[in-house]
Amino acid sequence: MPSESRSPSPVEKKSTLQWLWSTFKHYLRTSWLRYRKLHIYSKLALWALMLFYAALGAFLITVGADRIGQTMYDLAQKISNLRFGWMILGAILVVISFPPCIGHTTTVTLCGFAYGMNGFFIAAGGSLVGAVTAFAVLRMLFSRRLKKWSGSNEKWQALEAVVEAKGLPLIMLIRASPFPPWVYANSLFASIQTVALWQFAVATVVVFPKVALHVFIGSRLASLSDGETRRQMDPQTKAINIAVVVLGVVIAILTSFIIYRSMQTHIRHLQGISPAVDELAAEAVEEAGEGAPLLHSYSDESFDEERTIRPARSVSPNS
């Protein structure tokens, strides 16, 4: 006879609540400390982003999901009916690969809206060309700044040492992580002089399964966004489509979280590299979400001042 499931005791419930509360306080405190360390321009950008999402939420509530979905569907159909519509989406993906642009995931989803799963070839090709182009252009334009930055910043020295020691596998893991976001990941790898262009291209190909998932979500959303198509669906088909979209979003979120945690754990516990170097490298990856170092307005005087306050020293993997 199967044993009955035991409900959690009051003590177990209390310990779980305490763990959740302590975890919440930890992330709240960490977020506040990170916010205080941000440059004034980064703080303004963060507030602008929050206001944008607040306005977007109000817009969605006011206009309604049906009208917005129908508008996106109509736009996608217009693009797909154009002779070179695929080139428009590809060009957009190339442009938004340069910081500080945003909208990579939205554009990839739009590829699914317009072309169904065939949109994967557009999304994957545009993402690869855009990422490689951004990498090459940023490294060429900011080569002088990169040399000064890496020569005076211990975190970047640590990150370059870790990446050089572990090579392509670590590059692929960082690339697959949702943080730093797509556009800032492009600038991050362009900032690491030990990353070769071919390594970055291979690591970008690793992200294609995630691209395919977003295209699939877009293709399913397209069938739900068109009013006429939706009215012709029976309740069971409509429920299945909604469930598939929700499941796809959940899978994307969970996968991104797992990869990010794995990336942080992997960097902080690399064998043969001192914990101090690991921690500095992990912090450098986190700061890349703020656009460091390519998007920070560091003058020559600031580099000289940093050298005076804390002379640069080389960071070796075993230091």
Q: Which of 287, 273, 283, 306 is nearest to 161 (CA)?
A: 273
- Tens digits of per-residue pLDDT, 210-233? 999 999 988 888 877 776 777 777
Give the separation between CA 145 and CA 155, rounded to whole angstroms.
15
- Cβ burial, residue 283 (10 Å; 0-12/13-18/19+): middle
Residue 131 CB-half CA count within 13 A: 28
With H, G, I as helix, E, B as strand and everything else as coil, classify residue 68.
helix
pTM of the model: 0.69
For 272: left if phi > 0, alpha if psi spans -120 to 50, otherwise beta; the answer is: left
pLDDT attached to residue 279 = 66
Reply yes or no: is the peptide bond before residue 293 cis, omega within 30 of 0: yes
pLDDT attached to residue 308 = 39
pLDDT-flagged residues of the chain (< 50): 1-5, 297-316, 319
Amino acid at 186: N
Q: What are the extents of the domains in the chain?
A: 66-309
pLDDT attached to residue 121 = 96
Give the separation between CA 245 and CA 250, rounded to whole angstroms.
9
